[in-house]
Amino acid sequence: MRTVGVEEELLLVDPETGEPRALSAAVLARVAGKDAGQDVFEKELHEQMLEFATHPQSSMESLHAEIVRCRKEAAGHAEEIGCTVAALATSPLPVSPAIGMNRRYQWMEKQYGIATREQLVLGCHVHVSVESDEEGVGVVDRLRPWLSPLAALSANSPFWQGKDSGYSSYRSRVWQRWPSAGPTEIFGSAERYHRRVADMVATGAILDEAMVYFDARLSERYPTVEIRVSDVCLHAETAGLIATLARGLVETAAREWRAGREAADHSVSLLRLAAWQAARAGLTGDLLHPETMRPMPAEAVLRDLLDHVAEALDAHGDLERAREGCARLLREGNGAQVQRELMERTGSLRDVVTECVRHTQR
């Protein structure tokens, strides 16, 4: 059974005002003074962010429990220094991001200028184990059209600098400012994949392999495919759903690769349009269907996504969990819908943030 791990980036906020707080160094110093969680929490580009990474899990129940635990631990550490955490993919309130005092992050600020200084966005990355780089590239090639529905499910960033962006996932649009971000062409082999990555690093436009921000890539640290299209999800159960579907997609793609089934030959241009549509609509409008690249209601696309991965999900005992999770999101709304409903009800972005703090640990 393939193992799955999740990395989540959380926003550090003032518990009273909802404003982002640049306190990640203080939180991590607090963590370092304790035994628990030292290998879980990590620094990120901006001081208003705190990242954690779960351990690899075979059971989705265990993964969900670890996400919940890590979120609660993050909140506990943050509260000790006067802030808390919110699973928001952008700050609804205006913010001036503070870049971490780290040689890598300082290089990024010098290289990318204002894009780095404005890039306070928070994502959820899912790692799914693969047996080899060849299998991993076979998976990456076949995942491409199915990633946009995951982005739509996870959409949790409707507000940007105090205003409604008009997008369900504005994080994903800001993320596209990085020169290596986005969908990829078909590689066909691990050798071509690694040659492409080496060529990208050799340009000097990016620092190293870790800065290759493909929507799905081979991890440079672990024997996994890393799927990077999702916003950090407001609710832990949504993060668990994204991870469940990600494993189903990886297993399905690996089976297709082993069977010699060709990857869908959609152009990068069409994949970019599909990603844009998912970011704009979330679950509230049409998405581009992964097979036809034509508009279809989100509910129908999710139904076909579940059909696409049903055999793999069923083999792991995850099919009913995934169906129930998708039905719940269609019924109750994803993070973007919840945030907008809170704003409509309260009229206050501050209240949106403080309420989302409660949702984060639900």
Output the average pLDDT for the chain: 96
Query: What integer pLDDT is reported at residue 101 of this predicted model?
Result: 87
Give residue-wise pLDDT tens across range 10-67. 999 999 999 999 999 999 998 887 755 457 898 899 999 999 999 999 999 999 999 9
Averaged pLDDT, 270-279? 98
- Tens of pLDDT along 55-100? 999 999 999 999 999 999 999 999 999 999 999 999 999 999 999 9
Task: Enter the pTM of the model.
Answer: 0.96
| Domain of residue 249, CATH code | 3.30.590.20
Domain count, the chain: 1
What is the rounded CA–CA span in Å between residue 22 and residue 14?
Answer: 10
Q: Please give the residue range of the domain that contains residue 79.
A: 4-360
The 3 state secondary structure assigned to the chain is CCCEEEEEEEEEECCCCCCECCCHHHHHHHHHCCCCCCCCEECCCECCEEEEECCCECCHHHHHHHHHHHHHHHHHHHHCCCCEEECCCCCCCCCCCCECCCHHHHHHHHHHCHHHHHCCCCEEEEEEECCCHHHHHHHHHHHHHHHHHHHHHHCCECEECCEECCCCEHHHHHHCCCCCCECCCCCCCHHHHHHHHHHHHHCCCCCCHHHCCECEEECCCCCEEEEEEEECCCCHHHHHHHHHHHHHHHHHHHHHHHCCCCCCCCCHHHHHHHHHHHHHHCCCCEEECCCCCCEEEHHHHHHHHHHHHHHHHHHCCCHHHHHHHHHHHHHHCCHHHHHHHHHHHHCCHHHHHHHHHHHHCC
